[in-house]
Homo-oligomer: A and B are copies of this chain.
Amino acid sequence: MEKIRVGVLGATGNVGQQFISMLTDHPWFELTTLAASERSAGKKYKDAAKWRVERELPAGVAEQVIVPVDVKEVDADIVFSALPADLAYTIEADFAKAGFIVASNASSYRMFPDVPLLIPEVNPEHLGLIDVQRDMRKWDGCIITNPNCSTITMVTSLCALTGFGLKNIQVATMQAVSGAGYDGVPSMAIIDNLIPYIPKEEQKMETETLKLLGEFDGSQVVNADINVSASCNRVAVMDGHTEALWVQMADDPTPEEVKDAFLRFDTDLHDLPTEPEKVIIVRDEEDRPQPRMDRNAGGGMSVSVGRIREGIRYIVVGITPFEVQLEQVY
């Protein structure tokens, strides 16, 4: 199979580096273009970016010359956008108009009614919105978005419980510093401390969830009729968000029934190269899941649940999976 040619917008930042790391040696994708701000354009990647991913900077990427974030400069079919939200609104539209498939990690378009907010394991049918979007906006390309990272972890677990009739969800998060970007959380803020506040995070969890679990009726997504109340905290963990949930459901299932639902949960995505064997991993140990032990489960693509108790209360740990999203588009 011929590889799909992909580019990264905002290639030098933290999320951009993650994209590069995951796209290198990917069986489906060929990373053709690295685009970044004017300050970086024209330089070799190794000279423009301070590489901070544990995996060594791939040799090919190091020597690649960065182009400006401009539709005329990017030679790819799909672009992964790691742009900041303020720039993303205009630029991603330019790319979609110019025929690119834009897979965005920015929050700018997430809540637009004609833009899919996608967790491939949760709501693949929402991709039907792409036709709506193209019709309405007269774009040759399109924009699809992924949710906020703490939302992805929570909703992936909730998806297994929709059969019980989700009603009220309360979630207290203990989120890793990586979610704020490399310079996002100063060490002086977090050593021997935690921050019980993440700007806009609670609102994102409370609104994105309704769309993600909503129903696509062929022309629009009808929000799920549930209530989410979030309390978001930043803790001294590098990677992996931990979330303590209370989930009230119409059928009032027992912890054992909830556990069974987690165990039974499966997807149709097993032909995707990065799809893990189990999307939801159930831990039976009394003190799991833990972020350092469980964040890399399923190659980082699984969420791990545990401590399922009366309430229903449980703990879920996960990190943000980027790339399956795009595999799913095809």
Show the binding face of A for B, using Cβ within 8 Å: 52, 54, 170, 172, 174, 177-178, 182-197, 229, 231, 233, 235-238, 242, 244, 246, 286-293, 296, 306-307, 310-311, 313, 315
CB neighbours of A195 from chain B (8 A): 287, 290
CB neighbours of A306 from chain B (8 A): 196
Given contacts A191-B292, A233-B242, 13 further A-B contacts (CB under 8 A): A170-B170, A172-B172, A174-B233, A182-B186, A184-B188, A187-B187, A194-B237, A196-B244, A196-B306, A197-B286, A197-B287, A229-B246, A233-B244
CB neighbours of A174 from chain B (8 A): 174, 194, 233, 235
Closest chain B CB from A289 CB (angstroms): 7
Counting chain B CB atoms within 10 Å of each CB, the highest count among A188, A237, A238 belongs to A188
CB neighbours of A172 from chain B (8 A): 172, 231, 244
The reply to whether A193 and B292 contact each other, CB–CB distance below 8 Å, is yes
- Of all chain B residues, the one with the shortest Cβ separation from A192 is B192
The reply to whether B287 and A236 contact each other, CB–CB distance below 8 Å, is no
The reply to whether B193 and A293 contact each other, CB–CB distance below 8 Å, is yes
Contacting residue for A191 out of B170, B182, B236, CB 8 A: B236
Closest chain B CB from A58 CB (angstroms): 16
The reply to whether A242 and B292 contact each other, CB–CB distance below 8 Å, is no
A-B CB contact pairs (8 Å), 13 listed: A54-B293, A172-B231, A174-B194, A182-B189, A183-B186, A184-B186, A187-B236, A191-B237, A192-B192, A192-B237, A194-B235, A194-B242, A231-B244
Contacting residue for A231 out of B177, B291, B315, CB 8 A: B315
The reply to whether B193 and A291 contact each other, CB–CB distance below 8 Å, is yes
Counting chain B CB atoms within 10 Å of each CB, the highest count among A172, A191, A196, A236 belongs to A196
Contacting residue for A290 out of B183, B186, B193, B315, CB 8 A: B193
Contacting residue for A242 out of B185, B196, B293, B311, CB 8 A: B196
Closest chain B CB from A186 CB (angstroms): 5
CB neighbours of A184 from chain B (8 A): 186, 188
CB neighbours of A307 from chain B (8 A): 196-197, 231
The reply to whether B54 and A292 contact each other, CB–CB distance below 8 Å, is yes
The reply to whether B188 and A52 contact each other, CB–CB distance below 8 Å, is yes
The reply to whether A235 and B238 contact each other, CB–CB distance below 8 Å, is no
Contact A290 B244, CB 8 Å, known A186-B182, A229-B311, A235-B235? no
Closest chain B CB from A258 CB (angstroms): 15
